[in-house]
């Protein structure tokens, strides 16, 4: 930009959906009731998650519940899938974050089943994982097993934190868009996190802003068909700066959803986030949106 020239307006497709609250800045933002409440909720969920963690160390087998079908749900649940009755039958795979397991999805898994999703399962990758690409390849193998077990050609994927980055790498770099119907990320460091400078392990180094792995994801991807919804929070204590939870890529169909006052571990459990995930997977995001080439713009 030349000196003295007026700043150019940002295109409409860069508009962010904001959910649950009004954004603020500085000390005033920290003192908002939603921020204080979110911080207390995050502490409570951290304690609860520590207790539940041992219960999620093994990947559970896929057990579709025959009772959970859109036709047998309450009218409000059936209405969610009225435009596309097959939406609820597409398998949903939940992928956890760093040093975690599927217990972080205990609330979301139960909630999605109640909403009529027939096949909801979670996957645990190794806590010793040292490379995002390797984790993405293992995710792809697990998706193939789900397709064989359920008879479906495609699946939805919901990834929390690192799990969202693993899923995105599989979609962009390993041909995963052939199997992934849609991808929803929760608190995923799409642009890295400054906290990754604290530990020098191989995997953590890949999460640093500007790392070779993140530069690889920034490369052109004109053939990718999988739509991505990136849900991120202004109270995320792990993804720093919090704006790094956005997925901004010119070739991807992305909808960025900003939520307020929800901590990192609270994201997979918070009612607002769960509702947004369910509506997105059903093809009915709660926020009005319109599409333009390469992006999903939010009105």
CA dihedral 151, 228, 44, 48 (to 10 degrees): 20
Largest CA distance in the chain: 65
Look at residue 67 in the predicted model and tell me its pLDDT: 44
Span 167-176, average pLDDT: 98
- What is the residue whose two structure tokens read 């459990």? 269
* Triad 229, 232, 235: Cα angle to 5°: 170
Look at residue 291 in the predicted model and tell me its pLDDT: 34
Token pair of 201 as six digits: 């392990």
Confirm if 81 and 70 have CB atoms less than 8 A apart. yes
Residue extents of the structural domains in the chain = 13-298
Look at residue 13 in the predicted model and tell me its pLDDT: 38
Q: Does 277 have pLDDT greater than 70?
A: yes
3-state secondary structure of 92: strand
Q: Does 218 have pLDDT greater than 80?
A: yes
Of 86, 102, 58, which Cα lies nearest the Cα of 151?
86
For residue 285, what pLDDT band results from cuts at 50, 70 and 90? Answer: confident
Look at residue 88 in the predicted model and tell me its pLDDT: 77
Q: Does 11 have pLDDT greater than 50?
A: no
Query: Quick one: CA dihedral 136, 140, 145, 150, positive or negative?
Result: positive
Of 22-36, 73-87, 165-179, highest mean pLDDT: 165-179
Confirm if 132 and 147 have CB atoms less than 8 A apart. no
Q: How far is CA 67 from each of CA 22, 88, 119, 223, 251, rounded to the nearest angstrom?
A: 40, 13, 11, 38, 40
Look at residue 2 in the predicted model and tell me its pLDDT: 43
Contacts with 241 (C-beta within 8 Å, 6 or more apart), sequence order: 194
The structural architecture, per CATH, of the domain 13-298 is 3-Layer(aba) Sandwich (3.40)
Q: Does 298 have pLDDT greater than 50?
A: no
Token pair of 143 as six digits: 């998706």
Look at residue 4 in the predicted model and tell me its pLDDT: 47
Span 33-53, average pLDDT: 56
Span 162-168, average pLDDT: 98
Q: Does 21 have pLDDT greater than 50?
A: no
Confirm if 161 and 188 have CB atoms less than 8 A apart. yes
Phi, psi of 281 (to 5 degrees): -65, -30
Span 37-57, average pLDDT: 55
Span 79-108, average pLDDT: 84
Q: Does 125 have pLDDT greater than 60?
A: yes
Phi-psi region at 167: left, alpha or beta (left = phi > 0; alpha = psi -120 to 50): alpha
Q: Does 296 have pLDDT greater than 60?
A: no
Phi, psi of 274 (to 5 degrees): -60, -40
Question: For all residues of the chain together, what is the average pLDDT?
Answer: 80
């Amino acid at each position: 930009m030349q000196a003295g020239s007026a700043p150019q307006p940002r295109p409409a497709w860069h508009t962010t959906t904001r959910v649950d609250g009004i954004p603020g800045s500085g000390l005033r933002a920290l003192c908002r009731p939603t921020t204080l409440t979110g911080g207390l909720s995050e502490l409570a969920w951290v304690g609860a998650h520590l207790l539940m963690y041992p219960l999620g160390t093994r990947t559970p087998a896929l057990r579709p519940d025959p009772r959970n079908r859109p036709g047998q749900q309450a009218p409000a649940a059936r209405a969610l899938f009225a435009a596309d009755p097959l939406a609820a039958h597409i398998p949903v795979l939940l992928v956890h974050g760093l040093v975690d397991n599927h217990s972080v999805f205990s609330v979301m898994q139960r909630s999605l089943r109640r909403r009529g999703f027939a096949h909801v399962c979670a996957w645990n990758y190794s806590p010793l994982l040292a490379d995002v690409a390797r984790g993405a390849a293992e995710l792809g193998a697990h998706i193939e097993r789900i397709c064989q077990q359920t008879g479906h050609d495609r699946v939805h994927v919901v990834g929390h934190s690192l799990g969202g980055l693993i899923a995105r790498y599989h979609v962009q770099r390993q041909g995963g868009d052939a199997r992934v119907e849609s991808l929803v990320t929760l608190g995923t460091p799409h642009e890295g996190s400054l906290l990754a400078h604290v530990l020098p392990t191989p995997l953590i180094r890949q999460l640093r802003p500007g790392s070779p792995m993140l530069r690889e994801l920034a490369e052109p991807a004109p053939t990718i068909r999988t739509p991505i919804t990136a849900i991120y929070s202004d109270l995320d204590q792990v993804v720093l700066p919090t704006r790094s939870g956005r997925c901004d890529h010119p070739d991807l169909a992305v909808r960025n959803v900003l939520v307020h006052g929800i901590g990192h571990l609270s994201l997979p459990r918070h009612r607002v986030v769960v509702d947004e995930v369910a509506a997105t997977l059903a093809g009915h995001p709660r926020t009005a949106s319109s599409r333009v080439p390469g992006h999903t713009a939010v009105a």
